[in-house]
Amino acid sequence: MSGLRALGLAALALLALPAPAVAERAPASGPARPFIRVVGTRFLEGEKPFYFVGANLNVMHEPHARAKAAQTVAAAARDGLQVVRLWALGEGLPDAPAWLREHYLFRAGPRGWQEDAFRHLDRVLAEAGRRGLRVMVTLSNSWADYGGIPMYLRWAGHVDVESYGYSDRFFSDPRCKAWFLDHLRRVVGRVNSVTGVRYRDDPTILAWELQNEMNGTPEAAPARERWVQEMASAIRALDPNHLIVPGLIGYNLQLERAHWVRMCKLPEVAFCDQHIYPEERVRAQGRKNLRLYIDDRVQLAHHVVGKPIVFGEFGFDDKGPPAARALWHRLFLDRVFEDGGNGALVWIYQPTLPWKRTYPVLIDSPRSRPLRSELGAVARRIAREGVRARNPLLGPERGERPIGPTHSLLVRKDLPLPRWQGGAEDPSLRLELPVDRFQRAWFEESGSWDGGILVHAYGRRTGWFEFRFPALPFAPARLRIRARMSSEYPGRAAPPGGTSRVKLLVDGQLVGEVEVRPDDGIGEWYTVSVEDAGVRARLRVRGPHTLRFLVEEGAKANGVALFGRETALNREPVEDPGPILLEAFR
């Protein structure tokens, strides 16, 4: 998951809980079951195809979650799940306080190893093995949760966190690489203190995942690929038995899609992975869109890359009726296995905590019972009957051609038309268009956000925003359009050359174009004067009329962000914030 909610003060009250008693001591020799291996597009357990429904587990961090680790593992096993995923990570500063070291960290500073965290990992793996579960172990985090890449970079002295490609440095900085290798070797080379079994010899472990939700800029894709190859080779030198996977966040844009395929094709990578929370992606919302979204990923994995695919995180939020939430999870899983997909892990099994997640599967709450029942029913069915791909949309003949639309249309219904401001005798009229009140948007990804410094609408890569406005009472002699804009890059900032060419259209006719500067969170004012007298004259005709901001495919197609008023949380006042402004002069 891309970030945790604030813990809250109540969570800190639990920091004095005793260490959990997890499992009785397991035999010194490991279980006799085989390691999971990959042949073509399938996982095999021995000679039998292995498909699974599983869960991410909140068992490694926070005192209450650690204390309930045994119950959480047991709940997943009782529900019939086959695979679980957990995070063997946690990085802090060398002077981290005792409570943080005790409950959250594997290391405080590059050399501050916390043996209790490793022993807790031993206990969780022993409990999972005793209950017949397989475990995916994640070794680092791309996000700041429990340290992650930002903490490695902080150790290395990189403090300019707002710069473009900040996180990319992790994959090339020799100190960060050496520190991660230290952690990798300490985990992969470990002997379990509960079972006495070397991790490398324990078939409980299904795979080593190098990072949670690996991502970065397009320019740094080659560095990420080299990093994956180097770290996978380091694991393989210690462990000849287990599968290795990068831990990709997946793709949403077409550019990201190409990078995803290339990473999955690396010979060191055992299978493809993708995280998806459909309610957060316009192109995955609704049953039809959800099916196409899943289809595209299975198509690429099986028929382009030629490897299995695992949806390492998926979930639907806990806001609505429990039965409806359970149904959406089943619809997701049904499509994964109709496509011949190999596995999916729900986010996230845990006990009730003092703070709330958006996607919990609570082991101690009646609200989660319908969902747990559905997950278990699908898990048991595929364990009993196996999986047979039966989607005619998928196949080698389709190749890399996208399944489903590459762009999504976002429509805001029932928006009232704004009004021209000014009196009948005034020399000019003004019209304000709040940036987040667009009527329609058509981009690879789009939306609006009232966080950060200024409220803004964002459209990524190519597409358009369209605003509606009423007719004028006169044909203006002059018409001026002012908008605060930038290019739109994911992340904190854009590269120096990351401009975007934006065309402005009134009622479908081009009236001007500007090259907007790279995204910096506030943009810059741009002005376009409408010179075409015919366009101006038609604005007297009864409306509504349209204003469109268009980014077309090309060298400078880096999306567009439209900035408006300051946000309620902003503490950095911006000179001259405001909506899009149309000025009509008599």
pLDDT of residue 519: 87
**In the chain, what's the furthest Cα-to-Cα distance?**
92
pLDDT, averaged across the chain = 92
Where residue 28 falls among pLDDT bands split at 50, 70, 90?
A: very low
- The one-character DSSP state at 400 is T
Q: Which pair of tokens denotes residue 110?
A: 């590059």
pLDDT of residue 8: 32
Nearest residue to 345 via CA among 58, 547, 33, 10: 58
pLDDT of residue 214: 97
Q: Which pair of tokens denotes residue 420?
A: 């021209």
DSSP string, 428-484: EEEEEE-GGG-SEEEEEEEEEE--SSEEEEEEEEEEEEEEEEPPPSS--SEEEEEEE
Contact 482, 549 (CB under 8 A): no
pLDDT of residue 162: 76
Mean pLDDT comparison of 8-12, 280-284, 461-465, 570-574, highest-scoring range: 461-465
Alpha-carbon distance 35 to 134, whole Å? 10
SS3 53: strand
Give yes or no for residue 135 having a pLDDT over 50: yes
Contact 329, 375 (CB under 8 A): yes
Alpha-carbon distance 443 to 105, whole Å? 41
Q: Which pair of tokens denotes residue 262?
A: 């290339």
Residue 152 Cα to chain centre, angstroms: 20
- Taking CA atoms, 82 is separated from 49, 54, 75, 269, 288, in Å, by 13, 6, 12, 22, 28
Examine residue 348 and say whether the peptide bond preceding it is cis (omega within 30 degrees of 0): yes
Q: What's the predicted TM-score (pTM) here?
A: 0.89
Nearest residue to 219 via CA among 164, 268, 159, 275: 164
Examine residue 235 and say whether the peptide bond preceding it is cis (omega within 30 degrees of 0): no
Where residue 67 falls among pLDDT bands split at 50, 70, 90?
A: very high
SS3 155: helix
pLDDT of residue 492: 61
Contact 211, 87 (CB under 8 A): no
Residues listed for the chain: 586
Give yes or no for residue 26 having a pLDDT over 90: no
- The one-character DSSP state at 174 is H
- Sort residue 129 into left (φ over 0), alpha (ψ -120 to 50) or beta: alpha
Half-sphere exposure of 447 (CA within 13 A, CB side): 10
Task: Note the pLDDT tens digit of each residue in 222-272.
Answer: 999 999 999 999 999 999 999 999 999 999 989 999 999 999 999 999 999
Task: Note the pLDDT tens digit of each residue in 155-172.
Answer: 999 988 878 889 999 999
Task: Note the pLDDT tens digit of each residue in 298-311.
Answer: 999 999 999 999 99
Planar angle of CA 526, 529, 533, nearest 5 degrees: 160
Alpha-carbon distance 570 to 132, whole Å? 50
Helices 322-338 and 369-385, packing angle to 10 deg? 20
Q: Which pair of tokens denotes residue 440?
A: 């329609």
Nearest residue to 486 via CA among 561, 540, 569, 415: 561
Q: Which percentage of the chain shows pLDDT scores above 70? A: 94
Task: Note the pLDDT tens digit of each residue in 203-224.
Answer: 999 999 999 999 999 889 999 9
pLDDT of residue 21: 37
Where are any strands of DSSP class E within 139-263?
205-209, 243-245
Nearest residue to 409 via CA among 435, 433, 439, 437: 439
pLDDT of residue 493: 72
Number of H helices, E strands in the chain: 13, 25
Average pLDDT, stretch 282-307?
95
Task: Note the pLDDT tens digit of each residue in 351-400.
Answer: 999 888 899 999 999 999 999 999 999 999 999 999 999 999 999 999 99
Planar angle of CA 456, 462, 464, nearest 5 degrees: 55
Task: Note the pLDDT tens digit of each residue in 83-125.
Answer: 999 999 999 999 999 999 999 999 999 999 999 999 999 999 9
Q: Which pair of tokens denotes residue 395?
A: 């196949």
Examine residue 544 and say whether the peptide bond preceding it is cis (omega within 30 degrees of 0): yes
- Taking CA atoms, 438 is separated from 212, 233, 539, 548, in Å, by 35, 50, 19, 9
**For tokens 């599967």, what's the residue?**
361
Q: Which pair of tokens denotes residue 215?
A: 């991502």
Nearest residue to 110 via CA among 38, 163, 175: 175
Half-sphere exposure of 477 (CA within 13 A, CB side): 4
Nearest residue to 129 via CA among 73, 61, 68, 185: 73
pLDDT of residue 4: 44
pLDDT of residue 491: 61
Query: Rounded to a whole number, what is the distance in angstroms from the first to the last CA of the chain?
Result: 55
Nearest residue to 586 via CA among 423, 402, 457: 423
Nearest residue to 469 via CA among 531, 560, 539: 539
Domains in the chain: ranges and CATH: 9-385 (3.20.20.80), 408-585 (2.60.120.260)
